Homo-oligomer: A and B are copies of this chain.
Amino acid sequence: MNKSKTRYEIYTFGLKSVLGLFEKRPEAIRYLVFVEELSPKLGAICSFLAKNKKAYKQLSNNELNEMAGYKEHGGVIAVAVPPSVRKPNYADFTRWQTERSPLLMLESFTSGRALGSLLQAAHSLGMKRVLLVHPKDQAHFSDEAFLSAEGAHEHLEFYEVEAASSLFKKLKDKYISIVGAPSGIGGRNLNFAKPINAPGRPFMLLINGSEAGPASRTLGQAEYVIQIPGITQGNAQLKPDILGSILLAWLQSRRKL
C-alpha cells in the first residue's frame, strides 16, 4: 500500500467518521486501514473498495498510531479526497435565503485545530454551509482541521468567497451580517435575552481566526459586531472556535433543526 499522502488527501479517523464518510461520499475513499476488531463493522466499505479496485488493509494498532501520528484514531483510518470547495454565485445566495439557511463565514484561521473544532460545533448546532474567505491563504483547511472536525465536515458544504466586507455589502438585502469580535475592539456585548430580528433574512456570521481579529473595513460593513464580555488582559481572549460556537448556539437557538 502506498502510504504517501498528497495535499489533496485527508485522513478521516474513527468508526463513526469513516462510516459517515462512506455514507456521504463513498467514492472519495482512496484506501482504508483498520484494526482486526473493527473488521466486522467495515464489511460494506471493504466490499465497495474491492469492487472499485481500491485498497484496504488490516493493521496493528501500533501501525495505525504511526500512520496517524496520533493515538486517537479509533482503530480505523480512511484516506480520502477532501470535500470540494465551490464558488457560489448570486443565485446560490438567493436560493439559500429562500431556504432560510444561515451561513458561517470563516477567515484567517491560523490554527487548523480551532477551525476543525468550530466545524464540528457548527454541524452539531445545525449549520449546513460554510464560506471560507480566501481558503488558499488560510492554509489550514488542512489535515489537522479535518482531524479536529471528527467527520463533521462530511455534513457541511464548503464555498470559497472573497473579502467578507464586499459580501456583506452585496448581500445586505438577503442576509443579516454579524461579526463575532474579540472583546475590546468596540463591538456590542452579546445580550442573550435579546435575539436579533431580521424577518426573511437569515444570518451570515463571520468568525476571524487570527489574534488581530477582523479588519476595520469588515467591521464597518457588518450590521452587528458582537463580543462576549470577558477578561481582555493578557492572552485571555476567547479562542475563535469558542467564540463562534457561543454565537452559533445563541443564533440557532430559535430555529427548529
Contacts and interface: CB of A to CB of B under 8 A. Distances in A.
Interface string A170-199: 000000000000000000001111110000
Interface stretch (A34-42, A87-95, A97-105, A118-126): A118-126
Interface residues of A, number: 42
Contacts of A72: 111
Number of copies: 2
Interface string A11-45: 00010110010000000000000000000000000
A120 B234 CA distance: 12
Contacts of A64: none
A242 B239 contact: no
Contacts of A111: 72
A155 to B, nearest CB: 7
A257 B121 CA distance: 27
B236 A152 contact: yes
B124 A16 contact: no
Contacts of A257: 229-231
A228 B17 contact: no
A116 B255 CA distance: 31
B124 A236 contact: yes
B120 A230 contact: no
A230 B126 contact: yes
